[in-house]
Amino acid sequence: MLVFGLNEPGNLRIMATTFKDGDPSYAGALGGIALGLKSYHIFELKDEIPAEVWTREMAFKELEVEDALIEQICTIMREIRGD
C-alpha cells in the first residue's frame, strides 16, 4: 500500500490513480498497467497512529492545513480506493 504526505489534490489524484489503475496519461512506465495498490493519505490514518507519535510528528502539520483541504484530500483518496 501507499501512504502519501503531499497535500496538493491534483498531484494526489494522479499518483493514487496511477498506482491503482495505471498512468492515466499513458506517458509513463505504468501506462496501462494496473497494480491495484491502495493509497492513503497520512491524515486519514490518524486513528491508527499512537497519540504521542502523532503529536510529535504530525500535530503541527495538521494545524497548518485548512480543515476543508483535509476533507477534500480524504474524499479524493476514498473515491480512488472505491471505499
What proportions of the chain, in percent to the nearest 5, are helix, strand and coil? 60, 5, 35
| Minimum separation from the CB atom of position 32 to another protein (A) | 21
| Minimum separation from the CB atom of position 37 to another protein (A) | 8
CA distance 77 to 44: 9
| Minimum separation from the CB atom of position 3 to another protein (A) | 5
DSSP at 27: -
The footprint of another protein (CB under 8 A) covers 1-8, 11, 15, 40, 42, 45, 48-50, 53-54, 56-58, 61, 65
